[in-house]
Amino acid sequence: GAGVSQTPSNKVTEKGKYVELRCDPISGHTALYWYRQSLGQGPEFLIYFQGTGAADDSGLPNDRFFAVRPEGSVSTLKIQRTERGDSAVYLCASSYGKSTEAFFGQGTRLTVV
């Protein structure tokens, strides 16, 4: 596709459940970012991949959050034992490298009930 694709667009889950959010970056982009955006706030950095490795995961809030990018393309953000406070829009972005233009996907709206 031409842009960053995120699936699902919406996800409702029960407290305590496990969820996976998927990101398909723009072809050829080696850098991939995950952000979390709460209502009325700016995107909050979670994790950055350069290729297959997590170059910076300092933004992950706790060990319930984990992300992978096994082949250097598609990435999955995994949240265990979801809590109501995890409800937010999760944004993925990709770019050719650090400090270059980052293109965002539409986001996945996660609601934990």
Partner 1 sequence: GENVEQHPSTLSVQEGDSAVIKCTYSDSASNYFPWYKQELGKGPQLIIDIRSNVGEKKDQRIAVTLNKTAKHFSLHITETQPEDSAVYFCAASRTNDMRFGAGTRLTVKP
Residue 59 is encoded by which pair of tokens? 């933004």
The two three-digit tokens of residue 45, written as one number: 């950095």
Is residue 33 part of the contact set for partner 1 (CB under 8 A)?
yes
Q: How far apart are CA 58 and CA 61, in angstroms?
A: 8
Q: Which of 51, 98, 111, 113 touches partner 1 by CB under 8 A?
A: 98
Q: Which of 7, 41, 52, 111 binds partner 1 (CB under 8 A)?
A: 41
Indicate the residue among 45 and 66 with the shorter CB distance to partner 1. Answer: 45
Asked if 25 interacts with partner 1 (CB under 8 A), we say no
Q: Is 1 in the site for partner 1 (CB under 8 A)?
A: no
101 touching partner 1, by CB under 8 A: yes
Of all residues in the chain, what percent are helix, strand and coil, respectively (each to 5)? 5, 50, 50
Q: Does 40 bind partner 1 (CB under 8 A)?
A: yes
Backbone angles phi, psi at 75, to 5 degrees: -125, 150
Cβ closer to partner 1: 14 or 97?
Answer: 97
Phi-psi region of 40 (alpha: psi -120 to 50; beta: other; left: phi over 0): left
d(CA 69, CA 41) in angstroms, rounded, equals 27
Binding site for partner 1 (CB under 8 A): 4, 31, 33, 35, 40-45, 48, 50, 55-56, 58-59, 91, 93, 98-107
